[in-house]
Chain A
Amino acid sequence: MTVTAGADRGDVIDRERVEAVEREPVVIVRYNLFERVLHWVVAITFVALMLSGMALAYPRLAWLSGLFGGGQTMRAAHPWIGVAFTVGIVLMLLIWARGMMLDATDRSWFRRLRSYARTGHAGLDNGRWNGGQKVYFWLSLVFGIVLLLSGIPLWFPSVAGDGVREWSRLIHHAAYLVMVGGFIIHVLLSVFLFPGTLAGMTNGQVTRGWAAWHHPRWYRETSHSQPERPEPPAAEPTEPAEPTP
């Protein structure tokens, strides 16, 4: 930052600016642009599918069809939005599948689910994602496919026939409920519960403290390739305390 005003005044401003920058936390790139665009395409199509699905399944919520320009437009759009959603989750599978494989740490995470729910921290050496996130990913993928497959007879009811359509409707509805459950927890945790999490999906960055606290192994793996402040606080190898939650 160059200041063209008086030299002494500029000097003062510059120093303040430098100090302010130094107070700013070091950030780590959590999701790149492609990942974020993909996530929001999936998120927006999911919400559109959820709302139009509610309008179709619950007569008392039929007024939600107004959001989509009326029932007929909504009925025509819903399957195509579903196709876009499915493409999105399949792309997610392609770019994230490797990191989403469950490992021993995730099994421990599930054993500590109760204390995680109480304290918001499992004290485990999570990689880029913890066990819960991985399960939500696989659950969305599997039930997304179930929703697509059970949606086809509803898309073309005349081809499917009566019995197939009715069973598909029940399966579609049940799978939708699972997805909504996962969605509520996902939003609760990422938007409301953990400060700094949403930023990872908006500007793509999280603070070093956030990364080290929630995803320690991922932090160690990535922090070396990230811009760092000159003197990171030395980690004293203290006695290996039980990582109590």
Chain B
Amino acid sequence: MSTELGLAIRRKSASPSSGTNIRRESVEVSKLVDIDLCIGCKACEIACKEWNDLEPDETFNFGSYQSHEDLTASTWDLMRFKEVDLDNGDLAWLIRKDSCLHCDEPGCLLACPAPGAVVQYENGIVDFDQTKCIGCQYCVTGCPFDIPRFDRKTKKVYKCTMCVDRVAGGLEPACVKACPTGSIRFGSRQEMLAYGEAKVEKLHRRGFDDAVLYDPSGVNGLHMTYVVPRGDMLGDYGLPDDPDVRANLSFIGKLRGLRGIGAVATWAGLIGAGLYWLRVGRKAPPPEAEAVAEAERLGQPGPEDEGPEDLEPEEAER
């Protein structure tokens, strides 16, 4: 949604050496969603729409408390509801605020071939710059959390910006501001992790033995972590057990290698062709009579013939 906003940049998609940070210390920011405190009010959805001035998508009843079935190019924040029958006969009502998790190692950024279309700021926020987006949608499949959405009208991809324009001005994201229970929190990454770990311990004491702080290492941690009371049911929350961009990283390594080989080979080919041409120059045929005599001689059958003559009259398509 934005361009640089005066924030230091850690890296940009398809842009080697794009870091700009010279500041003495940069605080990494993070959101934390304490699912234990979430009451499913959807205030965060509305705040997101309002701050980012996004057109509401039409809602309809599809048998769920959810307002929409899925994220769209103009719906960057969605409360997901799921009812699960437990083995002991209880009902678990799972609610999760679904929006970009701002991975520290973002699959979207790794996949993106357009220089600068995906920006990771030094503070950890991952943002799309639609002015650079070419609409290829590699990020859509590159994301391990299925977050970016392609807009058919503008042919660009959109997602949560973590209200980078608010954060750059020292404000918390709109969803955090609107949350009435303090379920969505915002602060430095250390603060959020400390809160999350303490909360998970508290949940353990309360009998939620499987409670976890969701901060997967396969994406080198998140800048929106979850406290998940039922950590054994990540799949039901819609969270991948082990999101992993290491395969994407190794692909990027291979692609870089191939690019390197390609660049060297292309230059070698061009320079080699140029040198060859300078060395041998232009090769004019001999005088016509000589060339024709040679052609007629080659037509004579003889022991020197190179293989059998192809006798079928070649129709030269004219």
Contacts and interface: CB of A to CB of B under 8 A. Distances in A.
Contact of B293 (A25, A236, A243): A236
Contacts, number: 214
Given A29-B318, A162-B141, A233-B292, 17 more contacts: A32-B318, A56-B113, A59-B113, A75-B134, A103-B310, A104-B307, A123-B294, A125-B306, A157-B136, A158-B140, A180-B269, A187-B273, A192-B277, A221-B313, A235-B293, A241-B297, A243-B304
Contacts of A193: 277, 280, 282-283
A194 B132 contact: no
Interface string A110-128: 0000000111110111011
B296 A220 contact: yes
A62 B134 CA distance: 11
Interface string A58-76: 1110100100000110111
Contacts of A96: 317
Contact of A216 (B266, B299, B313): B299
A219 interface: yes
A234 B220 CA distance: 82
B15 A59 contact: yes
A212 B306 contact: no
Interface residues of B, number: 71
Interface of B: 14-16, 111, 113-115, 132-138, 140-142, 150, 155-156, 247-248, 251, 254-255, 258-259, 261-263, 265-266, 269-270, 273, 276-277, 280, 282-289, 291-300, 302-310, 313-318
Interface in A180-235: 180-181, 184-185, 187-188, 192-196, 207-214, 216-222, 232-233, 235
A194 B280 CA distance: 11
Main secondary structure of the interface of A (DSSP, over half): helix
22 contacts: A56-B113, A75-B135, A76-B155, A103-B307, A108-B307, A117-B276, A121-B283, A123-B294, A125-B305, A158-B137, A158-B140, A161-B141, A165-B111, A193-B283, A209-B285, A212-B294, A213-B286, A213-B294, A219-B295, A233-B288, A237-B300, A240-B303
Given A72-B155, A180-B266, A220-B299, A209 B286 contact: yes
Contacts of A59: 14-16, 113, 115
A225 to B, nearest CB: 9
B97 to A, nearest CB: 24
A208 to B, nearest CB: 6
Contact of B317 (A65, A95, A195): A95
Contacts of A158: 137, 140-141, 150
Interface of A: 25-26, 29, 32, 34-35, 56-60, 62, 65, 71-72, 74-76, 95-96, 98-99, 103-105, 107-108, 117-121, 123-125, 127-128, 154, 157-158, 160-163, 165-166, 169-170, 173-174, 176-177, 180-181, 184-185, 187-188, 192-196, 207-214, 216-222, 232-233, 235-238, 240-243
